[in-house]
Amino acid sequence: MAARQNIFRVRRSYNQWVANQTLEDYALRFTAKSARRWSAARVSNTALGAISFLALEAIGGSITLHYGFDNAVAAILAVSLVIFLTAIPISYYAARYGVDIDLLTRGAGFGYIGSTITSLIYASFTFIFFAIEAAIMAMALEMLFGVPLVLGYLICAVVIIPLVIHGITTISRFQVWTQPAFILLQLIPFVFIVYADASSVSDWTQFEGLNPVDSGGFSIVMFGAAAAVVFSLIAQIGEQVDFLRFIPEPRNAREKRRWWAAVMAGGPGWIVIGMLKILAGSFLAVLALKQGVTASEAADPTQMYLIAFNYITHSPEISLAMAGIFVILCQLKINVTNAYAGSIAWSNFFSRLTHSHPGRVVWLFFNVAIALLVMELGVYRALEETLGFYGIVAIAWVGSLVADLVINKPLGLSPAHIEFKRAHLYDINPVGVGAMLTASIVGIICHTGILGVYPEALSHFIAMGVALIMAPLIAWKTGGRFYTARPFVPIATDHQLVQCTICEHHFEPEDLTHCPAYDGTICSLCCSLDARCADACKPGAGYQEQLNQFLGSLMPKPVLAGLRSRLGHFLSLLVLINGLSGLLLSLIYFKTPVASPAEGLLLSVTLWKVFFILVIVTGVICWLFVLAHESRVVAEEESRRQNRLLMEEIVAHERTDQALQQAKEQAEAANGAKSRYLTGISHELRSPLNAILGYAQLMENDETIPSHRKEALGVIRRSGEYLADLIEGLLDISKIEAGRLDLHRDQVRIELLMEQLVTMFRLQAEDKGLAFDYHCPNPLPEMVTTDEKRLRQILINLLSNAIKYTDRGGVSLTLRYRSQVAEFTVRDTGEGIAPENVERIFRPFERIRTPGQSRAGTGLGLTITRLLTEIMGGDISLESVPGQGSVFRVSLMLSSLHSSTPRSISMPAKRIYGYHGSRRKVLLVDDDVSHRQVMRAMLSPLGFEIVDLGNALQVLATVEAERPDLVLLDVSMPGQSGWEVLAMLRQHKHTMPVVMVSADANEGHHAADSPRLHDGYIIKPVRLNLLLDTIASVLDLNWRFDKSPDPMAAIPAPDHGVLPLPKMEQRLALATLARIGHRKGLLEALHDLKHSGEAAEPFAIELTRLTNDFQFEKILELLEVAEHEAS
């Protein structure tokens, strides 16, 4: 399934920060097994460390003073038993599945959003008791140090924060360190009291309350009132399991017994210790009252323990110090737990409603701030009334939770495991939510006294009973279908940890599920925080759909349609908010003591006025909220629609991209095929060209060949060179386009190179009657680093074109060298290039044709020149004026060198007929017999002893037998390649020079990462001059030159004015043929004129040369000059 959502990096970073367990302590998620690194005893001790809070003594003292010993003790024992029994299943499931109280509530009948209500209840419990405990501690500070209460509240709140920031890591350490001192200070006063005043115990057991008339003996009403206050402690089990989830899983029977002991001690075991502390408070309150302390101060734990420590010492200062230290220690131990549990509860509450989680530490500050506000306002003083009402709601929650764990799961009405992940839960599970609401409503109704005195007194027990009955009843009625919104599919993995698609952290499989919106695994926290998926994994499980379905089953369609309208939303929201406001104002009215009916009437009128003012204010706010909600819904719908269109467009673009990629791959395949074809065809063409050019060069140098046949041989040679250049150009372009052209770093004598080029092209220019100038205004370095072949190729292409397209004037070459950069300028006075043709001339096979003389060429020279210049990191520019000439400028980086001996190529001006020194033996290895014959014909006349071989497998044996001075080795041969033969020779320590000869123009590089084993590389067809230069270089030979001028050297340009000319009619006939470019006709006419004796031999030879070079305009010029002179 394709992912519907894109994961943006900002979201990833946000979730990664939130998932930092150093501070988070696995809030909002499954407690990883790897994080349970403390022993079971250490975790249990941390949980029990919280049972030091003095609110227990305050509750015990308060209910004893009001309702007497019998009612107080009965309520303490009865409620403690209930709390103990309800704590067992809660502790077991939390420790077994590694979840806190909120995650446990989610999976045990309340649903994902339904447990938000319980999170608020639990969070309220934490800050209420935090405020109570901190207020007691502030009183101790006032007694010890005289710190004002307002400042004391602030100190007592702020001091807790550093101890809680790092979660259980710091809290467990703090509880271990303080536990011995707490136990000692907690127990020792009672030992001294019993020893010094044994009658105090009997006085306590006989105490009937402050009003003996109303509280004499056991009273069900007084029992219920006392039990109501004690029941407020039932939510303490939530703080216990927040620590119990860190108990490591047992691996054997012995560890399992320890596991059970730790769970029972840290879970339900808290109320055993708590019950003893409540009884201790009850005892100390009576003792303080006996010592003459007022009733209001007797229920204060600070006063209680001040009296108790007086039994240890007669020094008031020491007693005060001991009492103060004990109170401060107790309050620190409990409030680190209250603050920690509150931060987790608020995290759960807000993360589900806002899909945002700034971090547990933020909610730690939030919880402490609320508790501080409660203390400063003095709300904690209404202890009995506050806790009595709160206890009903807490009992309804815990009762529904226990009913699901104890009744529904064994009966199969709910899943056996605890499913806490958003992706698998309905937003609202009617089992837990319905049972809790029903029990709360019934309990509150009873608590108001509407149903009588006894239901009011036993309202908390009634609420517990209703919850225990309603949870299984609703589960049976609904068939348990609201526990899981989709089937749970375990994450299949061979690894202990799996990566989350969103935050990219690794988690255990229990904390992960598959997300169809992102098409990957997602951790429970990232799932909770995602606000864009719209619960795509569980359609119909949202609270809105559930509410609509529920109302639809109760109301007619027209009424339901009205509720769904804008007005219906407004009225529903207004009634809900003002109903809650009215409930709060009613509580204020009923719980506020009044001295007279007039005060009651005044309070009633005031509260009604406040209520209607709130109706007006909340009405405006509700209307704004409804309108804003509608706008948001429309915007979200439009956003989803646009996103859908955008995703469709993206998919279309992906298809297009795939098509383009496929076309690109096909083009690359075609280009590769073309390159392979060109490489193969060039190899096949070079083989016969090698024989053609080789024999043509030999026959041109043969003195026995008639002179008129040498002209034909010259044509053959030039045509072969033209084909070789064409093949070379095609291969160069193919390599450049394929990105496979390698550049070499040669050490080049730049001055020598320029001299060779100037000498070569000056002869060609003079042959056309052109001036050739060379300028070098700057001093040149001795050597430069560049690719000599490519630099030579660039300059030859530019100079050849300049001479080719210039008929009058001259050509100049200028070299400027400055700051390691060489600028070559080639200037001519030719026909020039029109502006519209400037780009065309650099395209492959583009030739600009102008009226008149035809120019020979492949159309590749300038294309290769530009590509080579760019690859070498240089720049080429062109300036041209039609009819006046062109200027080409090439700038290249040529780094200067000063200490090396580069390879240089000499260009003999005379014919070679031998060499100085002893006779050298050359081994020719080539599978093509014609190639061996050509090479033998080239080298034998020069005095070399030739040994040829056609089988590569026999090379090693032949070398060992013949001991040649040089090996000319073909690259491509059957059986073994030339490179393999070369490697074998070097392995056998044969060090003679080896020159590779091949039709593959791979620049002599067998492999980029292999050492250079050869001494030279010659490309077929073999040029005689290049072959001789290479041999001279590797064998260090000095050639013998013929003293007569080289017949191959260019002769000076003839003086056209002194040529013996034929008759006018023959010249006119020749001019007619030249004007139409009839080359064949011109050659035949010149041949006939020469053999008939009508044209002198110098005239025939010169015109034949011009005709072969297609220089028809030059021929016309020569004939016109001759005509002028004849006239």
The fraction of the chain above a pLDDT of 90, given in percent, is: 13
Q: What is the mean predicted confidence (pLDDT) over 187-215?
A: 81
For the CA atoms of the chain, what is the radius of gyration?
53
CA distance 79 to 740: 88
Sheet holding 810-818, edge to edge: 771-775, 810-818, 821-828, 885-893, 875-881
Contact 134, 449 (CB under 8 A): no
Count of residues in the chain: 1127
The gap between the terminal CA atoms of the chain, to the nearest Å, is: 97
- Give one DSSP letter per residue of 174-224, joined into a string: HHHHHHHHHHHHHHHHHHHHHHH-THHHHHHHT---S-HHHHSS--HHHHH
Distances (CA, A) of 955 to 192, 379, 932: 114, 108, 15
Confidence of residue 583 (pLDDT cuts 50, 70, 90): confident
Confidence of residue 1009 (pLDDT cuts 50, 70, 90): very low
Give the pLDDT score at 825.
93
More confident residue, 695 or 360: 360
CA distance 384 to 63: 9
**Beta-carbon neighbour count of residue 114 at 10 Å?**
26
Which region among 241-255, 280-294, 303-317, 703-717 has the lowest average model confidence (pLDDT)? 703-717
Q: What is the mean predicted confidence (pLDDT) over 99-119?
A: 88
**Exposure string over 362-397, b if 16+ CB within 10 A, otherwise e:** ebbebbbebbbebbeeeebeebbebbbbbbbbbbbb
Give the pLDDT score at 1045.
46
Amino acid found at 23: L
Comparing CA positions, the residue from 694, 621, 563, 595 lying closest to residue 1024 is: 694
Count of alpha carbons within 13 angstroms of residue 277, beta-carbon side: 26
pLDDT tens-digit map of 31-58: 888 888 888 889 998 888 888 888 898 8
Contact 428, 111 (CB under 8 A): yes
Listed in order, strand segments (DSSP E) in 971-1071 are 994-998, 1016-1019, 1039-1041
pLDDT tens-digit map of 553-570: 677 777 767 777 788 888
pTM strictly above 0.75: no
Amino acid found at 516: P
More confident residue, 217 or 437: 437
Contact 803, 761 (CB under 8 A): yes
More confident residue, 4 or 1103: 1103
Is residue 603 scored above 60 in pLDDT?
A: yes
Give the pLDDT score at 398.
93
Confidence of residue 347 (pLDDT cuts 50, 70, 90): confident
CA distance 387 to 63: 12
Give the pLDDT score at 324.
86
- Helix, strand, coil shares of the chain, percent, nearest 5, are 65, 10, 30
Helix and strand totals (H; E) in the chain: 40, 19
CA distance 410 to 420: 19
Confidence of residue 711 (pLDDT cuts 50, 70, 90): low
Is the bond preceding 1021 in cis, omega lying within 30 degrees of 0? yes
Pairing of strands 885-893, 821-828: antiparallel
| Residue appearing with tokens 């006779």 | 919
Average pLDDT over the chain, rounded to an integer: 81
CA distance 1010 to 979: 11
Give the pLDDT score at 505.
80
CA distance 526 to 110: 21
Distances (CA, A) of 917 to 420, 944, 1022, 1034, 1040: 98, 11, 25, 15, 10
Is residue 739 scored above 80 in pLDDT?
A: no
**Beta-carbon neighbour count of residue 257 at 10 Å?**
12
For residue 537, the 8-state DSSP code is: T
Confidence of residue 358 (pLDDT cuts 50, 70, 90): confident
Backbone angles phi, psi at 1087, to 5 degrees: -60, -45
Confidence of residue 1057 (pLDDT cuts 50, 70, 90): very low
Give the pLDDT score at 468.
94
Confidence of residue 407 (pLDDT cuts 50, 70, 90): very high
Amino acid found at 677: Y
Count of alpha carbons within 13 angstroms of residue 712, beta-carbon side: 8
Give the pLDDT score at 262.
92
pLDDT tens-digit map of 370-406: 888 878 776 555 544 566 677 888 899 999 999 999 9
Amino acid found at 839: E
Which region among 319-333, 793-807, 908-922, 982-996 has the lowest average model confidence (pLDDT)? 908-922
Is residue 131 scored above 90 in pLDDT?
A: no
Is residue 1093 scored above 50 in pLDDT?
A: yes
Give the pLDDT score at 78.
94
Backbone angles phi, psi at 813, to 5 degrees: -125, 125
Residues 6+ apart with CB under 8 A from 401: 90, 104, 105, 108, 109, 110, 118, 432
List the structure tokens of 324: 């103060």
Most confident segment among 599-608, 820-829, 877-886: 820-829
Give the pLDDT score at 719.
66
Q: What is the mean predicted confidence (pLDDT) over 195-215?
A: 78
Give the pLDDT score at 1048.
37
pLDDT tens-digit map of 860-878: 677 778 888 888 888 888 8
